[in-house]
């Protein structure tokens, strides 16, 4: 079943045409990645599907059975509820049914009047409640919030106190549970750490409906999409497959178009030579031949498809300041806290010259704070931070706090590097796609991607040999990310980078450094290697614990006791997992039973089953908490 059908759709803003003659369909099982450079009209296309923007030409046909859910890139939600209550508000109709069922049960218990009518209403309501998965909605909501990175304690926090990123995550949770059969997701991985992105990937892979998502996260696109809509040169080209498949198909198409274009041009040139020759002979037969060849030429010119001209992309290189010792940075048992709140401790790391290290870890673990400590903007609570001899650090801040809103793009570069001539500044800015009058745009008027390019331009001109980059690919489209990757691959200095862009990490990383509150763990490989080692560690942790090797510090009895405790925890974990599975299976059985008309019509049986489901749901929450504690 097609949920949408677009036919020759055009969108114009004044004299500017965003795209024209766009045609495609969205099926009810499509997993679509909508890609394209910033400013090409991806979000506008979403708003046209939502009927928030009108079409300038063509038609959009929406199936009556299409139920849309939309996640904006920037949300402005406000609420006086808690985080959990706000997420549960998507089930407002379910909660109303739940309250009415409780009221009916009370009336029946009190032998209220018109029992037949109450029983019929209870039966109908129970069916609707089960169809909306009313017996599991609270658990599913809690599980989704935890999967998206909220802690148990944060679920009861006031929604109004959340950051913009956290509010977006609550909005994403509501959307995923909304029951829509077509999700429109605009940059859904923004504000998510790697653990939450993994959870979202698993959710979308198992999602029964369709979705279309805008994303510059190539790793994410590869994991969850089966179709790619490329918005380029004012049109959409549909490719069957994920992002990597799109790259291969696009390369093949461009080769075919280029070859056909060149061959057709050669054929036109050959025919034009014949026409010229026939006209020189100027006989009746020759004139007819020339006219015939001219018709062929006209047909070939009409069918001629020229290769698309390449859109302008970032073109820059980074050069490190010469010199510097082999030991670029040494962290020795560094700890940091804010007041009485510890952030991390026992951070140890040695960064060698020329290495490319990616710093990963959950949101809030202190990665950005560690950068500030290294740069001297903050002082550690304890430990030692030492930069090597002749090491000059330069930083990229994901918030672009180094930019002055009241300056123009040109002034920002000129003031930071007063030794440059106007021509040198303009050439630099041209490499970062600021050309003509755009160099006089105020910083305050720039988009996130444009501000990122100004910050990168400043960094390129800096005389440094140790780059600390905090989420440098945020706000950049795919083409700009590729250009940044190429520049960093050729960089002859040292890199320490915080990033959630797994494609970016895989391409550049020599090592991955994982950060927790207990310190840093170094993995000598890229992101896939890091995942492999994490999986091995996880597998080993679920095996029965072996007796620790004595170092002369523990007595035999103490060692024996520790082994016994570890085995008990392992056994308790297995028992808890078995109880969770048993409880979830029984809840599924009850859900199926309550969907049976015969049982739903029997008030006493339905009431008993409903009470059992409530009790099981409470028990399941306790089991989840117990499992989480044992796993840790």
> From CA 183, how far away is CA 382, in angstroms rounded?
48
Q: Which of 47-61, 156-170, 559-573 tops mean pLDDT? A: 47-61
Greatest Cα pair distance in the chain: 115
Q: List all residues 6 or more positions away from 476 whose beta carbon is below 8 Å from its beta carbon.
A: 216, 449, 452, 453, 484
Q: Are 168 and 70 in contact (CB under 8 A)?
A: no
Per-residue confidence (pLDDT) for residue 551, from 0 to 100: 38
Per-residue pLDDT, 310:
63
Q: Across the chain, what does the average pLDDT equal?
A: 86
Residue matched to tokens 């950068």: 371
* pLDDT interval class at 249 (50, 70, 90): very high
Per-residue model confidence (pLDDT) at position 55: 93
Higher per-residue pLDDT: 114 or 169:
169
Can you give the pLDDT at residue 503?
94
Instruction: Kindly state the average pLDDT of the residues 203-221.
Output: 93
* Residue showing tokens 């990033």: 499
The packing angle between helices 409-416 and 422-431, to 10°, is 120
Contact between 42 and 231 under an 8 Å Cβ cutoff? The reply is yes
Where residue 601 falls among pLDDT bands split at 50, 70, 90? low
Of 563 and 11, the structure prediction assigns the larger pLDDT to 11
The answer to whether residue 223 scores a pLDDT higher than 50 is: yes
Element spanning 628, H or E = helix 603-631
Share of the chain above pLDDT 90, in %: 45
Residue 185 pLDDT class (50, 70, 90 cuts): very high
**pLDDT for res 488:** 93
- At residue 553, the pLDDT reads 43
Q: Are 195 and 116 in contact (CB under 8 A)?
A: no
- 447 CB-near residues (< 8 Å, 6+ apart): 38, 39, 475
**pLDDT at residue 544, rounded to an integer:** 55
Strand (E) positions, 445-529?
Answer: 466-470, 494-498, 511-516, 519-523
pLDDT digits (tens, 9 = 90+) for 101-128: 888 888 887 776 678 888 888 888 888 8
The sheet with strand 511-516 has its strands ordered as: 393-396, 466-470, 494-498, 356-360, 511-516, 519-523
Please state which of the ranges 16-30, 276-290, 330-344, 455-469 shows the lowest mean pLDDT.
276-290
Q: What angle do CA 494, 500, 506 make, to 5 degrees?
A: 60
3-state secondary structure of 453: helix
pLDDT of residue 441: 93
d(CA 501, CA 481): 10
pLDDT on residue 555 = 47
Average pLDDT over residues 5-16: 91
Question: Distance between CA 587 and CA 619 in Å, rounded?
Answer: 11
Query: Is pLDDT above 70 for 444?
Result: yes
319 vs 224: CA distance, rounded Å: 37
Mean pLDDT value of segment 44-71: 93
Element of type H or E holding 126: helix 115-131
Q: Of 5-14, 497-506, 554-563, 588-597, where does mean pLDDT reach its minimum?
A: 554-563
Mean pLDDT over residues 550-557, rounded? 44
For 505-542, write each residue's pLDDT tens digit. 999 999 999 999 999 999 999 999 999 888 887 666 55
Phi, psi of 9 (to 5 degrees): -80, 135
How does pLDDT run across 317-336, given as a tens digit for each residue?
A: 889 999 888 999 999 999 99
The tens digit of pLDDT for each residue in 353-384 reads 999 999 999 888 899 999 999 999 999 999 99
pLDDT over 60 (residue 554): no
3-state class of 381 per DSSP? Answer: coil
Please say if the pLDDT value at position 621 is more than 90.
no
Interval 401-434: pLDDT, tens: 889 999 999 999 999 999 999 999 999 999 898 9
Residue 405 DSSP label: T
pLDDT of residue 419: 92
How far apart CA 5 and CA 61 sit, in angstroms, is 5
3-state secondary structure 554-588: CCHHHHHHHHHHHHHHHHHHHHHHHHHHHHHHHHH
- Cα–Cα distance measured from residue 219 to residue 481, given in angstroms and rounded to the nearest whole number: 13
Please state whether beta strands 57-62 and 2-13 pair in parallel, antiparallel, or not at all (unpaired): antiparallel
pLDDT at residue 552, as a whole number: 40
* Phi–psi pair at 347, nearest 5 degrees: -85, 120
How many residues in total does the chain contain? 632
This prediction's pTM: 0.73
Q: Let me know: does 513 contact 520? Beta carbons within 8 Å.
A: yes
Is residue 558's pLDDT more than 60?
no
In whole angstroms, what is the distance from residue 383 CA to residue 463 CA? 29
Query: How big is the CA angle at 89 (ends 86 and 92), to the nearest 5 degrees?
Result: 165
């Amino acid at each position: 079943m097609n949920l949408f059908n677009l036919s020759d759709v055009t969108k114009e803003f004044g004299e500017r045409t965003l795209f024209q003659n766009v045609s495609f369909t969205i099926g009810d099982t499509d997993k679509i990645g909508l890609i394209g450079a910033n400013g090409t009209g991806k979000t506008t296309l979403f708003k046209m599907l939502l009927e928030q923007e009108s079409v300038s030409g063509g038609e959009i046909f929406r199936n009556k059975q299409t139920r849309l859910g939309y996640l904006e890139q920037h949300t402005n939600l406000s609420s006086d509820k808690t985080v959990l209550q706000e997420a549960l508000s998507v089930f407002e109709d379910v909660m109303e049914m739940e309250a009415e069922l409780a009221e009916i049960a009370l009336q029946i218990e009190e032998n209220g009047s018109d029992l037949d009518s109450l029983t019929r209403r209870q039966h109908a309501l129970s069916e609707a409640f089960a169809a909306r998965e009313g017996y599991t909605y609270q658990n599913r909501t809690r599980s989704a919030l935890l999967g998206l990175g909220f802690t148990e304690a944060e679920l009861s926090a006031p929604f109004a106190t959340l950051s913009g990123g956290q509010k977006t995550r609550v909005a994403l949770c509501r959307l995923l549970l909304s029951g829509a059969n077509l999700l429109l997701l605009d940059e859904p991985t923004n504000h998510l750490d790697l653990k939450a992105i993994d959870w979202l990937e698993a959710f979308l892979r198992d999602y029964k409906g369709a979705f279309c998502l805008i994303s510059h996260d190539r790793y994410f696109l590869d994991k969850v999409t089966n179709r790619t809509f490329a918005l380029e040169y004012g049109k959409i080209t549909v490719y069957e497959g994920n992002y990597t498949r799109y790259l291969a198909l696009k390369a093949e198409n461009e080769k075919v178009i280029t070859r056909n274009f060149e061959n057709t041009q050669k054929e036109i040139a050959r025919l034009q030579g014949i026409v010229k020759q026939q006209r020189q002979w100027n006989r009746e037969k020759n004139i007819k031949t020339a006219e015939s060849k001219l018709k062929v030429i006209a047909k070939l010119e009409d069918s001629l498809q020229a290769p698309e001209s390449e859109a302008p992309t970032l073109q820059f290189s980074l050069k490190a300041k010469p010199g510097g010792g082999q030991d670029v940075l040494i962290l020795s048992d560094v700890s940091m806290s804010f007041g009485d709140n510890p952030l991390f401790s026992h951070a140890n790391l040695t960064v060698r010259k020329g290495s490319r290290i990616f710093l990963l870890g959950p949101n809030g673990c202190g990665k950005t704070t560690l950068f500030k400590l290294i740069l001297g903007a903050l002082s550690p609570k304890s430990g030692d931070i030492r930069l090597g001899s002749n090491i000059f650090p330069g930083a990229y801040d994901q918030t672009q706090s180094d930019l002055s809103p009241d300056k123009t793009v040109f002034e920002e570069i000129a003031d930071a590097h007063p030794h440059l001539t106007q021509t040198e500044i303009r050439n630099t800015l041209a490499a970062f796609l600021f050309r003509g009058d755009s160099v006089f745009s105020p910083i305050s008027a720039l988009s996130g991607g444009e501000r990122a390019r100004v910050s990168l331009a400043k960094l390129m001109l800096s005389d440094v040999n140790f780059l600390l980059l905090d989420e440098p690919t945020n706000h950049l489209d795919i083409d700009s990310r590729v250009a940044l990757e190429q520049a960093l691959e050729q960089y002859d200095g040292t890199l320490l980078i915080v990033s959630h862009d797994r494609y970016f990490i895989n391409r550049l990383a020599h090592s991955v450094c994982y950060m927790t509150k207990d310190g840093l763990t170094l993995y000598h490989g890229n992101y896939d290697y890091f995942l492999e080692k994490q999986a091995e560690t996880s597998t080993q942790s679920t095996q029965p614990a072996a007796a620790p090797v004595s170092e002369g510090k523990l007595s035999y009895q103490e060692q024996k006791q520790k082994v016994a405790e570890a085995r008990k925890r392992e056994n308790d974990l297995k028992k808890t997992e078995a109880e969770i599975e048993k409880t979830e299976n029984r809840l599924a059985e009850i859900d199926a039973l309550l969907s049976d008309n015969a049982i739903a019509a029997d008030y006493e049986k339905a009431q008993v089953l409903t009470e059992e489901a409530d009790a099981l749901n409470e028990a399941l929450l306790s089991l989840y908490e117990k499992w989480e504690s044992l796993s840790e």
